[in-house]
């Protein structure tokens, strides 16, 4: 399983995901910093990767993209990297199991919720 980290996800999360046995790529790795959310979605489809983001705008991208990509949105305010790390460690494996098909997972400190496109 491969993950594409949106540019708002702390780089420390990449290390945590790698330690869990998954592959990660960042927009910086791909020289794509600053691209629009739709372009991030297209890149995730091309790379066969699940997007991990802190940006709620990904929950409302174009339907034709939502029907083809997989998104994990981490819902957390304020965005504390330590809490983000805890959420990823606690829920990532479960989220991967729920994302067999395109859809959205919303993670918070106390919840994991799947939404189909």
Inform me whether the pLDDT recorded for 17 exceeds 90.
yes
Q: Report the domain count for the chain.
A: 1
Inform me whether the pLDDT recorded for 117 exceeds 80.
no
Name the residue with higher pLDDT: 60 or 72: 72
Alpha-carbon distances, residue 37 vs 15, 70, 100, 109 (angstroms)? 23, 13, 22, 24
Q: Evaluate the CA torsion angle 93, 84, 70, 41 in order and state its sign.
A: negative
Inform me whether the pLDDT recorded for 67 exceeds 90.
yes
> In which band, very low, low, confident or very high, does the pLDDT at 115 lie, cut at 50, 70 and 90?
confident
To 5 degrees, how large is the angle CA 68–CA 56–CA 83?
Answer: 110
Q: Look at residue 108 in the predicted model and tell me its pLDDT.
A: 94
Query: Residue 25: which domain range?
Result: 2-115
CATH number, domain containing residue 34: 3.40.50
Residue-wise pLDDT for 38-62, tens only, equals 999 999 999 999 999 999 999 999 9
The chain-wide mean pLDDT, for the chain, equals 95
**28-37, long-range: CB within 8 Å, 24+ apart, which pairs?**
33/7, 34/7, 37/61
């Amino acid at each position: 399983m491969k993950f594409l980290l949106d540019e708002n996800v702390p780089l420390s999360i990449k290390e945590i995901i790698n330690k869990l046995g998954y592959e990660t790529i960042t927009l910086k790795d791909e020289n794509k910093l600053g691209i629009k959310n739709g372009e991030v979605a297209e890149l995730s489809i091309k790379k066969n990767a699940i997007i991990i983001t802190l940006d709620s705008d990904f929950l409302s991208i174009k339907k034709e993209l939502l029907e083809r990509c997989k998104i994990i949105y981490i819902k957390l305010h304020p965005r504390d990297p330590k809490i983000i790390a805890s959420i990823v460690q606690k829920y990532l494996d479960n989220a991967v199991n729920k994302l067999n098909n395109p859809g959205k997972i919303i993670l918070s400190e106390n919840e994991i919720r799947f939404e189909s496109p």
